Amino acid sequence: MNQAVLILIKPDGLKKSLTGNILTRLSETKLEIVAAKMVRVSQGLAEEHYRHLKDKPFFKEIIKYLQGELHDRKKVMALVYWGKDAIKKCRDLAGATNPEEADPTSIRGSYGRITTSGIYENVIHVSSNEPEAEREIKLWFGPDEIIVDLYPAKEVVQKELRSMLWA
Ligand code: ADP
């Protein structure tokens, strides 16, 4: 079954210059990249992304982590991969959430660490299931930024919309 999955290369992945390695590992899946961009993550976006963890003691720290405040890299790379069993293939390659428990050959097992304050810095996010993938992809991308029609969309004309054009 074809699926879409949101991948984030988190600020530690970018700071450690792992973008190429991670994309190479993900290319083993033979999935198609249907969207990609660099994002400066607002507090609101980070909190919405991790809303299922808002009662956890580490919530504040992972919001700072995703915003890049722990790594002096205030950006993440967001991608959507698409194809057969995309979620399982990407999660298998990513490895377990805790990098110490992750298979050592997985992306998190190879490159992740636990900080002295106990945060799992695991270099990559992968959506956990189809409903979460849809929620996350709609949170991080607009329909115009994805080169296939993943979910129903509607066309609207926004007159007062402020946007930047090349000068
Ligand atoms: P995943 O990213 O594997 O889907 P979660 O959504 O449960 O896992 O957690 C989101 C992120 O929060 C993790 O990727 C990790 O960076 C951090 N995290 C999760 N659980 C813990 C924990 N027990 N202690 C510290 N950090 C954690």
Instruction: Tell me the per-residue pLDDT of 71-114, one tens digit each, with 9 for 90 and over.
Output: 998 999 999 999 999 999 999 999 999 999 999 999 999 999 99
Does 46 map to a domain? yes
Q: What is the mean pLDDT of residues 57-84?
A: 97
Does 165 map to a domain? no
Spatial distance between the Cα atoms of 33 and 45, rounded to a whole number of angstroms: 22
Instruction: Tell me the per-residue pLDDT of 118-138, one tens digit each, with 9 for 90 and over.
Output: 999 999 999 999 999 999 999
Query: Does 127 contact ligand 1 (Cβ within 6 A)?
Result: no
| Structural domain span for residue 104 | 2-145
Query: Does 128 contact ligand 1 (Cβ within 6 A)?
Result: yes
Identify the CATH number of the domain in which residue 15 sits.
Answer: 3.30.70.141
Q: Whose CA is nearest to atom 13 of ligand 1?
A: 97
For the entire predicted model, the pTM comes to: 0.96
Does 72 map to a domain? yes
Does 86 map to a domain? yes
Does 154 map to a domain? no
Does 29 map to a domain? yes
Does 163 map to a domain? no
Task: Count structural domains, the chain.
Answer: 1
Confidence of residue 1 (pLDDT cuts 50, 70, 90): confident
Q: Whose CA is nearest to atom 21 of ligand 1?
A: 120
Instruction: Tell me the per-residue pLDDT of 136-158, one tens digit each, with 9 for 90 and over.
Output: 999 999 999 999 999 999 999 98
Does 155 map to a domain? no
Q: Examine the residue annotation and report whether 49 is marked as an active-site residue of this protein.
A: no
